[in-house]
Amino acid sequence: MRWTLKPKPESFKIKQLSESLQVDETVGTLLIQRGIESYDDAKQFFRPSLEDLHNPFLMKDMDKAVERIEKAIAYNENILVFGDYDVDGTSSVALMSSYLKTRTEAVATYIPDRYEEGYGVSYMGIDFAHDNDFTLIIALDCGVKAVEKVAYAKEKGIDFIICDHHRPGNELPKAIAVLDPKRTDCDYPYDELCGCGVGFKLIQALASNDGKTIEDLVEYLDLVATAIGADIVPITGENRTLAYFGLQVINQNPRPGIKAILAQVKKKELTITDVVFIVAPRINAAGRMKHGNHAVTLLTETDFNLAVKYAMDIELFNSDRKEADQQITKEALLQIESNNEQDGFTTVVYNDSWHKGVIGIVASRLIETYYRPTLVFTKSGDKLAASARSVSGFDVYNALEACSDHIEQFGGHKYAAGLTLKAENYEAFKQAFEDEVSKTIDKSLLTPEIRIDTQIELRDITPKFYRILKQFAPFGPGNMTPIFMTENLKDTGYGKCVGEDDKHLRISVTQPKADKIVAIGFNLGDKCDLITNQKSFKAVYSIDENEWQGNVSLQLKLRDIKE
């Protein structure tokens, strides 16, 4: 692990902000590192308001999208809500279709089959729309690159409205409206919305046109928060406000589908991390193992008893998904070892029998062992399909773009992408990708980094300090859980390895002039010798609560320790 201490802001700024907020300087430091430098900024950060959300009509083409949908509602046209099969896509479809059904009966949904149709807008979906007299398709979380498909739909008399958040190509589809804050000609003040977030801006615009306020749309925010968490978009600005209020809905009055998932896991209060690791994988499992329609059905169901039944089906898909990704990860690691590919700058593996629905998860798992940009390929029809994942700081999308001569189709983000290519191009692509990454990556990025916010002493960790830290949530990219470093620590003599194969470390740490505090380090069992015999060590950690037999106490969640 590389430990990187973030630069400390200027002392006068810390002092000024800390005094105006009446907080200690550590809190002032954490806020300034997050771009919060004034009392008003801090008020907006700690007390998000729905009034902070931007006017949806600031987004390019929003007026055109609203006008076309209003016309469709007025003339009772059939509207098809189309979205990708992942969490962002299925949440977007559930959001848009459930809102539109409050305005018109003539609404249906369509999720492409991951295996027959692949990612994004499909010819099969357009043919389905044509055969069933749909004259308007609203595409969510996809479509910004579907130039030919939108033209094909137009020939069949079908209009398109696109709500996407992926980077556009050189040419935009000739749709009625292309809502995408990443368009270079779009001046919308916030460009990190997920697909469901863009969909929410559209229903916000439609609702305001219909005389409704943002308060009337709060019930939809459980879907938006789920998509924000699952799509790993920055939890800053507008996303933070949407996630904040969405989590309130999830914890107080979620839709029956989300309530049914939570009933199975019996978790009290969910954080955004719980949404990422509990709710999102289950919704995703439908599209990975069976069909994304199952997720939409669950998320739009209004009868709780039926939702429980659907959630049980999805739980089975999730169990199958876990088994598949564990098996494929084993096989992929074996392939890397047997081919002597442990060195190098990239991981690229392929097996034609691997389940297409889990290769993205497998790519992330491989990064845990070989920390470098990773692609996992499988066979998909007569082509090879891959999921790409990257390491922090490296743009895998740009690397794929540089190898586009070997690729049929690709799309995605800085850290996650998907692509297809012809089987005969696999070896050439593999070499080109390795060459491109080796030329462009900063070699230090190939060692995992822990970014430390600031150094503190154990005596600084008080219940009041932790209460303020909790208000920094929801956490995520752009607003990560604060990470601290403390030096000159000693174990009180009760430190030991715990768990299966002694994988984890549980210690009770102390420091001069400080009370002892329990620290737990998952997967740090191999560092046990660093804390024995009263050796002095330093640690990086976050702070959380431990509840045991009704008692709640603060504990350190260790990320790493060193001599």
Domain boundaries, the chain: 2-47+450-562, 56-313, 339-446
Predicted pLDDT at 42: 95
Distance CA 49, CA 31 (A): 18
- Architecture label for domain 56-313: Alpha-Beta Complex (3.90)
Both structure tokens of 104? 């018109």
Both structure tokens of 334? 């074996």
Predicted pLDDT at 114: 85
At the top level of CATH, which class does the domain 339-446 belong to?
Answer: alpha beta
Residues in the chain: 563
Distance CA 150, CA 158 (A): 9
Cβ–Cβ contacts within 10 Å for residue 363, how many? 25
Cβ–Cβ contacts within 10 Å for residue 39, how many? 12
DSSP one-letter string for 385-451:
EEEEE--TT--HHHHHHHTGGG-SEEEE-SSEEEEEEEGGGHHHHHHHHHHHHHHHS-GGGGS-EEE
- Please say whether the beta carbons of 531 and 507 come within 8 A: yes
At the top level of CATH, which class does the domain 2-47+450-562 belong to?
Answer: mainly beta
- Residue 225 parent element (H or E): helix 221-230
Which parts of 130-185 are beta strand (E)? 134-140, 159-163, 177-179
Burial of 368 (0-12, 13-18, 19+ CB in 10 A): exposed
Q: What is the 3-state secondary structure (H, E, C) of 271-298?
A: CHHHHHHHHHHHHHHHHHHHCCHHHHHH
For the whole model, what pTM was predicted? 0.91
- Please say whether the beta carbons of 519 and 556 come within 8 A: yes
Q: What is the mean pLDDT of each run of 10 residues along the chain (563 residues)?
A: 94 96 96 95 94 97 98 98 95 98 97 87 97 98 96 98 93 97 96 97 96 96 96 92 97 96 85 92 91 95 96 94 95 94 93 93 95 96 94 95 93 87 96 97 95 96 95 93 96 86 91 90 91 92 88 93 94
Where does residue 393 fall: left (phi above 0), alpha (psi -120 to 50 degrees), or beta otherwise? left
Q: How far is CA 239 from the centre of its chain?
A: 12
b/e for 325-353, b at 16 or more Cβ within 10 A? beebbeebbeebeeeebeeebbbbbbeee
Predicted pLDDT at 70: 98
